[in-house]
Amino acid sequence: MGIEEDDVQTQVAIIGGGPSGLLLSQLLHRVGIDSIVLERKTQDYVLGRIRAGVLEQGLVQLLEQAGCADRLHAEGYVHHGTLVAYGQEMFRIDFTEHTGTPVIVYGQTEVTRDLYAAREAAGGAIDYEVDDVVIHGADSDAPHVTYTVHGEKRRIDCDFIAGCDGFHGVSRQAIPLGLRREYEKVYPFGWLGILSETPPVNHELIYANSERGFALCSMRNDMLSRYYIQCSLSDKPEDWTDEAFWQELKRRIPAEQAEKLVTGPSIEKSIAPLRSFVTEPMRWGRLFLCGDAAHIVPPTGAKGLNTAASDVHYLFNGLRDYYRAGTTDGIDGYSEKALKRIWKAERFSWWFSSMMHRYPDQSEFDLKMQVADLEFLRTNKAAQKAMAENYVGLPY
């Protein structure tokens, strides 16, 4: 088929205009590799999604490499540790002591905003509000993508396709069922989260295990706090008044912290289900899956955005080596290398979730084991070091 008037060519077609797709596009641009990003929603919609805000140093370094880290360094909060509470007990895991590395608290929305600004400044091609995306010939030497924008049919001929379109996107589904294997654990609870224009209760995150369920005290900045409580999957955000949320949060954190908590009207309230999910392989021919398209983690370990970043790191380096040196080692080894790190992040998120939440089928023995696990972590430096290494991010 010849190229029609509305058809374009690029080196890498990127499906998904969230942070992973934008970061990959910007990194490729910096080394002279062309890409086009396809996004199902509008830019305003993408920027309106409230997501995590704990960044590993690996992601920070990728943003520096992409030329998108100035605002992060100016406005982000360096966290050298985190707090873990159970009942009225609370202890601190010192990241810098155990690893020499902090994390940075900077909202995913702000990361995405910075990446959009960089792509626009570079004249990067992004098509918004795309529908009917279909991947063709991913297992051939001439893949292409067809889609529509406001009823107009378009086609992109490309060398490679990066599927950065999330759990519900088309990219994973394009890999034949007979070739992919999916692993999943669905957790029997959700997280009710609110955003409020109030000062954080603590300058570091507090993860709390209580007999009433899990709670997390987080923040975006000095006057923007993010709080979560474990809730039933049958709950709806409108079931919870702000007052009911604040009262429940206070019951789940140590009394000393509850007394300091500044409450106020919520400006956003939502419930997120929790799941662990991995699909293998992450590559089929010239199609590569990145981020949520290939794997999901429960948010307990703050790994969602960070695991997407490690995928981008491996894929970017593989594509750069292909175009610069003609070597396929990086892209051929992409899936295996990415999955090795993903499974370790999945293990950490599963372990941390298991230790901090109340499960409906827990026995008295199980509850005692949770406390023993927390006591061991509180008193054992080796256990703290292992947790710190995982939390700040395992090496790429």
Active site residues per annotation: 79, 207, 299, 303, 391
> 184: burial class by Cβ within 10 Å (0-12, 13-18, 19+)?
exposed
Q: What is the distance between the alpha carbons of residues 302 and 58, in angstroms, rounded to a whole number?
A: 14
b/e string for 303-317 if b means 16 or more Cβ within 10 A? bbbbbbbbbbbbbbb
Contact 122, 35 (CB under 8 A): no
Show the DSSP H helices in 31-156 as ranges: 43-47, 57-65, 70-75, 95-99, 108-121
Q: Name the strand (E) or helix (H) holding 336.
A: helix 334-356
* 111 closest CA partner among 47, 166, 203: 47
C-beta atoms surrounding 197 within 10 Å = 13
Q: Is the peptide bond before 237 cis (omega within 30 degrees of 0)?
A: no
DSSP for 124-146, written as a single string = -EEE-SEEEEEEE-TTSSS-EEE
Contact 326, 262 (CB under 8 A): no
Amino acid at 136: H
Question: Which whole-number Å values give the CA distances from 196 to 199, 202, 228, 353, in the listed order?
Answer: 9, 14, 11, 24
> 172: burial class by Cβ within 10 Å (0-12, 13-18, 19+)?
buried
Contact 275, 168 (CB under 8 A): no
Which two structure tokens, joined as six digits, stand for 11?
A: 């080196």
DSSP bridge partners of 160: 12
Q: What is the distance between the alpha carbons of residues 121 and 213, in angstroms, rounded to a whole number?
A: 46
